[in-house]
Structure 1
Amino acid sequence: MGLPNVSGDLSAEMDVDAFRRLFPLRFYERHLVESIRPDARPLGRARDTTLALGAVASADGSALAKIGLTTMLAAIKMEVMTPSTETPDEGSIAIDFHMPPICSPLVRPGRPAEAEPVVSKQLSDTILSSGMINLKELSLINGKAAWMVYLDIYCLDADGALFDAALLSAVAAFSHLQIPVVSLNDHGKVVLMSEENEGGKDPVNKEKRKLTLSSIPFSLTCILHKNYILADPTAEEESIMETLVTVVLDSSGQLVSLYKPGGPVLAYTSAIQDCVALTRQRVKELRKILDEALSGMEVY
């Protein structure tokens, strides 16, 4: 490799892949000035997204969501619990996000990924604050029995925008969820029909049912770099450009939350407004993908 020329144009004197590895930010900025990204996407376009419902046969509700290469598997299991005295007519939801070592070379065996508790809390806050699920709908017998909903999300491939894919898989799993049938046994205890079907009294709920979901949240993560906004970043883009903004809107376009984990403080609001506008477009796409998945159509 020769010495750089007077203008400092190193890219003219080395292999493109080498230039990308050694000077990743300069490599990206050469594309950004043309309003394009190395994967040929326009700056404001998200990656191809797919949904598959019922991916885990043993779960009460499940979904596999892919945004580009980022892949999430969400599964829900229901258990009967005694509700708290503070909310005797409500059930509960527990959400855990997992990043096994297979999802990324950055995740080491035996060491929990730093993103796990962050994404878990963000998911819990978003799902509960959005009003998507009425916890009273999870009540079985006031003060005596309610549903405990365990939602586990496993990241199978981490290639950026983890929260967006995790939230989409969670929403799809709740949309696919069928609440099991339960009955009272001879001791007055609420049990699953499959456990004590013959010895039970009249069912508490006579057939499996779906939750009534409202204000369904969807999100879009954007990178802000100089005057550019990159929607749905890859892991490479997230690693070289610091300022991330995640906008969460419900299916009617109302703001649920805005999350900015790091990067410099923004001194202007126009970039945030542009991110919200991009998210509104994305919500329409995701709503359509979810509806098509629910209707049994395969989405590409």
Structure 2
Amino acid sequence: MAAGFKTAEPLEYHRSFLKENCRPDGRELVEFRTTTLNIGSISTADGSALVKIGNTTVICGIKMVRACQPNPSVEAPNKGYIVPNVDLPPLCSSGFRPGAPGEQAQAASQFMADIIESSEVVKTEDLCIERGKLCWVLYCDLMCLDYDGNLLDTCVIALLAALKNAQLPEVTVNAETSLPEVDLKKRKPLQIHRHPVASSFCVFDNSILIVDPTGEEERLSTAQLTVVTDEDGRLCSVHKPGGTSLSGERLQECISRAQVRHREIRKLIDKVAQSVTSGK
């Protein structure tokens, strides 16, 4: 009976739970799903992480490539580059099709690029090897293995954890040949300056606010919002892809909850990273 009601009237089915301040999966309105993290998941990558929020699973692999002139631009001769790319293959959900990246994948890639720039998680000056001649380009590939909503939160955690796992090889430029020489045995951790964490919300019927939406909740909601904060509580980004407007009071509530969520995720990342470093 309940299964038929859910299929025939999915919105009313969800409303029947929301009016009791709970959700179909048993969570409270402001309760996040279980979040798990594994760092160093890809042995061939220069840094990697696997993140699960509920059923949504994203893996991030980082590849470091040296770029010579003319890649270091005239406008930024002392900077390198970070290039994120989000892939939503058909294997992660029946809602995605083979072929060129769809609108959601492109929007997610742009969101990640904006977060990298606005948060200054890594300063691109740190990726400069020799001014105007040589720099590092970090290709950050994020692939969704299983999609059940809240893609952006999962991607941000995966990227941050993978960056913390990345190590830069030592590079020197031979004075006689002017050629770069890379020592893969000598590596140093990539310096992480800020720790951005995303928290996503959905609104039902223009009034009921929930956190960490599932894929079905995203489809049925009247508005979606993602808030990104750093360790100082600073607001790095507010991403709202259309939908109904939110009051200032509701926006402040989202920011406050995002700051609490940041502390939880930061603690998780530090715990797992320390475990990997200690070899436990």
User: Which category of TM-score, normalised to the shorter sequence, fits these structures?
Assistant: over 0.9
Give 1:284's aligned residue. Answer: 263
Give 2:234's aligned residue. Answer: 254
Corresponding position: 1:164 with 2:153 = yes
Conserved 8 A contact 1:60-1:180: no
Distance 1:230 1:191 in 2: 52
Superimposed CA distance per residue, residues 101-148 of structure 1 (whole angstroms, 9 cap, x where no aligned partner): 101001112353321110000000011111111111111111211111
Shift of 1:173: 0.5
Corresponding position: 1:50 with 2:29 = no
SS in 1 for 2:161: helix
Give 2:178's aligned residue. Answer: 188
Aligned residue among 271, 284, 288 for 2:250 = 271
Give 1:179's aligned residue. Answer: 168
TM-score using structure 2 length: 0.93
Conserved 8 A contact 1:50-1:65: yes
Amino acid at match of 1:265: S
Any gaps of 5 or more consecutive residues in structure 1?
1-14, 195-205
TM-score using structure 1 length: 0.87
1:1-300, aligned counterparts within 5 Å? 15-82=1-68, 83-184=72-173, 187-193=177-183, 207-226=186-205, 227-266=207-246, 268-296=247-275
Shift of 1:214: 1.9
Conserved 8 A contact 1:93-1:148: yes
Amino acid at match of 1:36: C
SS in 2 for 1:179: strand
Computed over aligned residues only, the root mean square deviation of the Cα atoms, in angstroms, reads 1.5
Any gaps of 5 or more consecutive residues in structure 2?
none
Identity of aligned residues (%): 35
Conserved 8 A contact 2:48-2:62: yes
Distance 1:216 1:87 in 2: 24
Distance 1:147 1:119 in 2: 23
Conserved 8 A contact 2:204-2:220: no
Report how many aligned residue pairs link the two structures: 271
Distance 1:191 1:148 in 2: 16
Conserved 8 A contact 2:51-2:158: yes
Amino acid at match of 1:157: D
Superimposed CA distance per residue, residues 32-77 of structure 1 (whole angstroms, 9 cap, x where no aligned partner): 1111111111100111001100011011100001111111110111
Distance 1:279 1:207 in 2: 38
> Max radius of gyration: which structure?
1
Superimposed CA distance per residue, residues 226-271 of structure 1 (whole angstroms, 9 cap, x where no aligned partner): 32111000001011113001111012211111111021233x2111
Distance 1:77 1:66 in 2: 22
Distance 1:93 1:219 in 2: 19
Shift of 1:93: 1.0
Amino acid at match of 1:188: S
Amino acid at match of 1:64: L
Conserved 8 A contact 1:182-1:190: yes
Superimposed CA distance per residue, residues 180-219 of structure 1 (whole angstroms, 9 cap, x where no aligned partner): 233435622114335xxxxxxxxxxx82011221221101
Conserved 8 A contact 2:226-2:238: yes
Distance 1:210 1:246 in 2: 29
